[in-house]
Amino acid sequence: MIPTKLTEKNFKSKTNIFLIVGILLIAANLRVPLTSVGPLVDMIRDETGISNGAIGLLTTLPLLAFAVFSIIAPNIAERFGIKYILMVSLIVLLIGILMRSVNSITLLFLGTFILGSAIAMGNVLLPALIKQNFPYRIGIMTGLYTTFMNLFGALASGFSFPIAKQLHIGWRQTLASAAFLVIVTSFVWLPQITKKQRSTLKTSVMTTNKNVWRSVTAWYITLFMGLQSLLYFVVLSWPPEIFIHYGLAPSKAGWMLSLMLVFTIPANFIVPVLFDRTDKQYLVMLFIVAITFLGFGGILVWGGFLATVWSAFLGFGIGGCLSLSLTLVALRSNGIKQASQLSVMAQSIGYVLAAIGPVLFGMLRDITMSWSVSISAMMINCILLFIVGIGATKKKTVEQ
C-alpha cells in the first residue's frame, strides 16, 4: 500500500489522456537520439575521418551527461516545476539534435553532450512525475513509458541505416530527423505548462527530511540500477561481434541484436505490472536476473548455437531489469521529492557504471584474447545483481 492521502477517486479526477500521451511521447524521445547512432558509425567515421577512440567517446558522452545532469535535475524542478523543466528539456534536446547534424566535428560532439543532458532530465523526472500523478498505477505507467522508450529506440536502431542509405540523405540528415518527434512532443506537452497549478516537487503528498544517501534501501536500489545499467549497455554494444566470432554471418549477428531489442519490449511492460501486484516481489526479480544469467551462460557454453534463444533471454532479462529498477524508485520512495532524490542517486551512479561496462568488457577481451572471460564477468555481475536485488525488493521505503 502506497502511503498517500490521495483517494482512488481523487486519483481518477486528476488523470487525463493528454498527460499520459505526453509522458509516453517524452519517453519515446529518451532513446531515439542515442540508438540511431550505432548503425551509422561506419558512415560517420568514413566521412569525418575520426578515430575509433573518438567514435567510442561519441557513444559514451551521453552517458557521462546522464551522470552529471541527473544530479541537478531535482533542484531545478523544485524551483521551476517538473512539467516546465521537461518542456525546456525538449527544447534543449531539439537544439542538441540539430547541432550535432551540422557539418562540424566540434558541434557533433558538443551537440551529443547537449542532447544527453536533456535526456538526463527526462530520465530522472519522469518517475517522480508518475509518482505524483499516478500513485495507484505506478507499475502500469512505468511499464508503458519504458515500453515506449525502448520500442522507439528499437525502431530508430533498425531504420536509421536504411533511411540513410536507401534515401541517399546521409547520416547527418538521418540523425536530424529525430527532431520531428521532439517537435510533435513539444506541441503535445505545451498545454501541461499553461495550467495554473504548476507541478513542483514541493507539492509532494508526503514530505521527508531523510537524506536518501544514508538509506540502506536506497543503496540497494542504486546498486541494482547501476549493475543492470552496466549489463544493458554491454548487451547493446557487443553481442554482434561475439556471435560473429562464434561463426554467425555478420547479417545474422546484427539481427540477433534486433531480436534482443524486440524482447525488451514485452518485459518492459509485463515486469513492472507483475512486480507492483505481487506480494512476493523478490520472485519477479529472481526470474528476470536468472533469465539474463542463462542468456550469457548459453553463449558461453554453446556459442552461436541456439543464438536466437540466448538473444531472446538477454533481451527479456535486461528489459525486465531496466523497468524493475525504475519501478523500485517510485515504489520505495515517499512523495515525489524523495522519488526525485532517489532517482538522482540511482541514475547518477548507475550511468557511471554503464559508461564503464562496455569499455571493461572490451578490455577483458583484448587482454585475454577470448570472449569467455568477458562473458563470465557479466555472469558474475548477474550474481551481484541478484544479491542487491534481494535487498531492493524488500517492501521497505527509504524511510524505514
Widest pairwise Cα distance in the chain:
61
Q: What is the pLDDT of residues 225-283, one digit of tens each?
A: 999 989 988 887 777 778 888 888 766 776 787 788 889 989 988 998 888 888 888 89
Least confident window among 87-101, 283-297, 342-356: 342-356
Q: What is the pLDDT of residues 117-171, one digit of tens each?
A: 999 999 888 888 888 888 778 888 888 988 898 889 888 877 888 888 888 888 9
Q: In this model, does residue 351 exceed pLDDT 90? A: no
Query: pLDDT category, 7, cuts 50, 70, 90?
Result: very low
Query: pLDDT category, 52, cuts 50, 70, 90?
Result: low
What pLDDT is stored for residue 184 in this prediction? 97
**One-letter amino acid for residue 236 of the chain:** L
Query: pLDDT category, 303, cuts 50, 70, 90?
Result: confident
What pLDDT is stored for residue 208 in this prediction? 45
What pLDDT is stored for residue 251 in this prediction? 66
Distance CA 291, CA 313 (A): 6
Q: Nearest Cα to 109, choosing from 175, 61, 172?
A: 61
What cell numbers appear for 377 in the block?
564477468
Q: In this model, does residue 8 exceed pLDDT 60? A: no
What pLDDT is stored for residue 399 in this prediction? 66
Domains and CATH numbers, the chain: 8-392 (1.20.1250.20)
Least confident window among 43-52, 88-97, 372-381: 43-52
Share of the chain above pLDDT 70, in %: 90
What cell numbers appear for 390 in the block?
534481494
H or E element in which residue 123 lies: helix 105-133
Give me the mean pLDDT over the 10-25 stretch.
73
Count of other CB atoms within 10 angstroms of residue 148? 22
Q: What is the pLDDT of residues 193-224, one digit of tens each?
A: 875 545 555 544 334 445 788 888 899 999 99
User: What three-state secondary structure class fits 15?
Assistant: coil
Is residue 77 within 8 Å of 201, Cβ to Cβ? Answer: yes
Residues 6+ apart with CB under 8 A from 128: 74, 77, 82, 201, 336, 337, 339, 340, 343
**One-letter amino acid for residue 347 of the chain:** Q
